[in-house]
Structure 1
Amino acid sequence: MPCALCLQEAELRRSHVIPEFLYETLYDEKHRLQVLSIIPEQANWREQKGLRERLLCDACEQKLSVWERYASLVLKGGVSLTVRQEGNIVHISDLDYRQFKLFQLSVLWRAGVSSLQFFENVQLGKHAEALRQLLLAGDPGSPERYGCFMFGLKHEAGVFTGLIMQPGKVRLSGHIAYRFVFGGFLWAMFVSSHDLGAPLNQCTLSAAGNMAILLRNATDMENLVSFSAELDQMGRAPSR
């Protein structure tokens, strides 16, 4: 079968759509993940290593793993960053734009091409091919395209990492975005044929490696889709 990324015929790996390291806080004592079924007639089931499917060849799997490794270090405090907090907005500097943006794009693209029902709401259309070409070339593209807002989720003064939710679609200021929850963050990944522009681009990752994250208490959430209203507020955050 052809690899979804390079399109070459190859033996395919059982690839993660959401990277393996993001499941670590969800495993039980036997390193199993309970998957909650959204189909009434289908019982819940357990996965040994998260949600996977035969998607990528070994070479492409390794390509994406480099960006996943960097993102893992960023999220776990393994790289040196400059952090400044103003109220409930955290400003982060010194990120590697190329690696972190490609990590974000890789999750969005994999969700869009996945055949798993968990990702059925991510419908990328023509953007799937545009994202594939960027990933294949290792090109993060412009900060104005396929940007991502991040909300940090807190719970009882700690980071709320114990949740991965089925992605959903939201519309913000004329743009479509897909909402993911994993790794203690809500990620709103924009998919649009036109540039984000101000003020939305003030909070997505810049080419200089700067980004703003809005902090929220996870216990206050009645419906995660309601976060979409706050994305515009993030767009009014102080300029970088």
Structure 2
Amino acid sequence: MATRQEVSAWRPAVAGVVEVFHAHFTEYAYPMHVHDSWTLLIVDDGAVRYDLDRHERGTPHDTVTLLPPHVPHNGSAATPDGFRKRVLYLDSTHLGDEFIGAAVDRPDLRDPLLRLRVGQLHGALVGAGEELEAASRLALIGERLRARLRETDVSLRPPPADPPLARRLRELLDERLVDGIALDEAARLVHAHPAHLVRAFSAAFGMPPHQYLTARRVERARRLLLDGQAPGEVAAATGFYDQAHLTRHFKKLVGVPPGRYRLSGGVGP
């Protein structure tokens, strides 16, 4: 079977939706990465397996998967023919950080009505001019997601406490997203041994600091590409050494090169 990698991505004019992403992958596998937005995922064909918070999960086609921001996860096909998925990346307009803990506990929701509504929202987002319908459908989806997450965890416990050392390093990495920061400098700023700092961060967030920084840079690159910027400009604006450096990491995390991803959103060369 030939390897298939088809993507379509765009930024709709709908408040709360950071990005729409449709993809068909066969043999491609996502490495561990992290998003700064909520990931609302439905699988139309096949199935996906992934690890979230060190637990193996799966997304059969009749579920809705909600992955919280800041929590590392990966993903790969769970069936021989791969998978076809539709994804919405959502900001905190409809879901706040207080729901992260509940989403980590049970990210895959079996809810036919919710599944139907998410599919209808994707239909409204495909063409321009249906922004009111899309916003209305998103409001109902947000309401139902909040209700389901309250069922999962009635206490609405906050996200798991991050060790202060790891949290401080994450803040430094976010602050220096473009320029980067040397490990020795980071260790001096947080008053820790470099090796201990790496271990603390990896234990808290499920990935080493360099992998987190790369994932955050790719996340920003996606947004800039969909805004119409050229890959070379995006590489410089997101902290990559050059376009080849961006391409290598972008393809590893997204599945296609940045130029192809940009064109999938209808942006001209």
TM-score by length of 2: 0.23
Q: In proportion to residue count, which structure has more strand?
A: 1
Q: Between Structure 1 and Structure 2, which shows a larger proportion of helix residues?
A: 2
